[in-house]
């Protein structure tokens, strides 16, 4: 069982980060806890086990989802979507997906909300 805490280190979160990486069809994923650096996952492998991540830190600080394009770091110029990991109102960390499709990923979601296509999707997946 994976147990997340605000003190989790890279070794404790890497399995979850890898699982999410595979879930999003191997888009790059970054994850960290509130108090310790985390991991970056690319092409099915952990490529960094001491990743700080400015946008990850910002999501932890604000407790909000952030869609941004970093101006520095390994994902400079590439859109990212980062969400805080919250349990019982406390932010424990954050996880983000790097949209190497440069926005196509989000456009596909918008297209899937078209009324003529929505009938094929479960209501809870894309509330209207």
Rg (CA), the chain: 15
**Domain-embedded: residue 112:** no
**Domain-embedded: residue 117:** no
**Domain-embedded: residue 66:** yes
**pLDDT value for 116:** 60
> Model-level pTM greater than 0.85?
no
- Identify the CATH number of the domain in which residue 98 sits: 3.30.450.20
**Domain-embedded: residue 115:** no
**Domain-embedded: residue 47:** yes
**Domain-embedded: residue 45:** yes
**pLDDT value for 3:** 76
What is the count of structural domains for the chain?
Answer: 1
Q: How many angstroms separate the CA atoms of 27 and 5, rounded?
A: 25
**Domain-embedded: residue 28:** yes
**Domain-embedded: residue 5:** no
**pLDDT value for 51:** 97
**pLDDT value for 95:** 98
DSSP element (H, E) containing 109: helix 104-112
**pLDDT value for 100:** 81
Phi (first) and psi of residue 15, to 5 degrees: -65, -40
Structural domain including 62 reads 10-102
List the chain residues with pLDDT less than 50: 126
**pLDDT value for 34:** 97
**pLDDT value for 124:** 55
């Amino acid at each position: 069982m994976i147990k997340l805490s605000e003190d989790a280190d890279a070794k404790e979160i890497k399995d979850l980060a890898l699982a999410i990486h595979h879930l999003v069809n191997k888009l790059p994923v970054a994850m960290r806890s509130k108090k310790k650096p985390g991991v970056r996952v690319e092409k099915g492998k952990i490529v960094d086990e001491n990743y700080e991540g400015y946008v990850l830190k910002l999501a932890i600080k604000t407790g909000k989802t952030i869609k941004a394009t970093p101006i520095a770091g390994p994902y400079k110029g590439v859109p990212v979507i980062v969400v805080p990991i919250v349990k019982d109102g406390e932010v424990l960390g954050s996880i983000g997906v790097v949209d190497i499709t440069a926005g196509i990923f989000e456009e596909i979601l918008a297209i899937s909300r078209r009324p003529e296509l929505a009938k094929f999707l479960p209501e809870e997946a894309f509330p209207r």
